Amino acid sequence: MRDQRGIRINRYLAMCGLGARRAVERLVKEGRVAVDGAVVDDLAFRVPPDAAVSVGGKEVRPRRRFRYVAYNKKRGVLTTTRDPHRRRTVRDELPRQLRDLKPVGRLDGDTEGLLLLTDDGSFAHRVAHPSFGVVKKYVVVVGGRVTKKDVAALERGVELEEGHIGKVNVGSVKRSGAGSTVSVSAVYGRKRMIRQMFAVLGHKVKALRRVAVGPVKLSRLRPGEWRELTEEEVAALGVSDARDVAVVVTMDGPAGVGKSTVGKAVARRLGFSFVETGKLYRALALKALREEIPLDDGPRLAGAFERTEVRYALTDGEPLVALDGEDVTAELAGGDVADAASAISALPAVREVLLPLQRRLAKPPGVVVEGRDIGTVVFPDAAYKFYLDASPGERARRRAGDFAAMGKAVAAEEVEKDLAARDGRDVARDAAPLRRAEDAVYVDTTAMAFEEVVDFIVECVERGEAARTAG
């Protein structure tokens, strides 16, 4: 079925900079255009949001003119686009033509200074995430005299809540009367890290202002004012390289917690692709059942799977899985396939075979991947990691509701017992056991509405908050 939500193929190719309408239509008619590996010669074809398009065997992506803005945030204004308590937000302060832009990283309400805004998600990821090494500089006014011993502690690292270590570079210290003004810089930080570090050392922060992000300086911007970044500033931040990097969002957690439904919604909101890894294991399990391979014979299963082609794509927002060129999506819902998938997923040899396939699915601009070992094994260096959880009773209630929707009446008590057994297997298995990555954001969804969970994760990613910028 053609995806009616996608972009017409001729418009898509024009957006890639391949020429005007007649030129790109000629490419289609000549059979040089392929979508997800299949040649497209229908000018009415619409390109799905997550599709891979190639011309003459080379992948192409639309070009777009993004906006990059430097804004001097006032103290007392929240770094968010909306607030349920109706407090003043950055969006409220911006002129109408900038209200579609999103903050890069965050500054807490009491912090003022330089905040970058953009509609380029890859750029935001590159600037906010510490792996790219973009330095943020701050001026901190504190009570008391900051000593050389304090400076050494700030640069060596100060232990904060939950065992986290806060660390900054100190540029200068100016002492005046009963206070000090300190210039610091950091690549990585947690929420309110700078304030907490000085508090541990006995200095209360009276004012905190960000004055630079990489090469971009606050300079003469007055509070509330903004300006466009120059081409040199954008280039210095490496935006061209960022567009070649896939932003990976991992979503781990036990069965029945809602990872798939939340993951799909998050991917849709971010404009990313979505991968439900359980479907991949089920496809391989189906292969094993068809060929009557013993489900505990790891080497034989691995050998068969290495000769198997598994393709995964989204159609109308739902996953489509092809096994050796055959659409087997409908067959993956069977209970025998699910049981077989659970059995083979515990085998190290099988997980090793599937690992490269899972990693290849991470394509720009980004992907949301759900499973049980995604943030710990499959994408250990992912930019954004989330661990979803809920109480056993709530998970059982949700899963029982899913069964009811399919016309199956299963008691919640029975479901809870099955989930507990599955948790035990997932946690105890030798190969990639279920556990929360140390740097994953823990999300207890027990008392949260579905929309609240999605909003929380999307805002974390859009603001780079899973990377925890300082302030």
424: burial class by Cβ within 10 Å (0-12, 13-18, 19+)? exposed
Measured N-to-C along each axis, helices 277-290 and 335-344 cross at an angle, to the nearest 10 degrees, of: 100
Rounded-to-integer distance, Cα 121 and Cα 55, Å? 25
Under a CB-based contact definition with an 8 Å cutoff, are residues 102 and 219 in contact? Answer: no
Under a CB-based contact definition with an 8 Å cutoff, are residues 249 and 266 in contact? Answer: yes
389 is catalytic: no
Under a CB-based contact definition with an 8 Å cutoff, are residues 283 and 321 in contact? Answer: yes
The per-residue b/e assignment along 147-184, b for 16 or more CB within 10 angstroms, e otherwise, is eeebbebbeeebebeeeeebbbebeebeeeeebbbbbb
Amino acid at 417: K
Amino acid at 208: L
Rounded-to-integer distance, Cα 200 and Cα 217, Å? 29
Rounded-to-integer distance, Cα 123 and Cα 263, Å? 22
Under a CB-based contact definition with an 8 Å cutoff, are residues 367 and 449 in contact? Answer: no
Under a CB-based contact definition with an 8 Å cutoff, are residues 206 and 144 in contact? Answer: no
Catalytic residue among 108, 297, 439, 444: 108
* Catalytic sites, residue numbers: 108
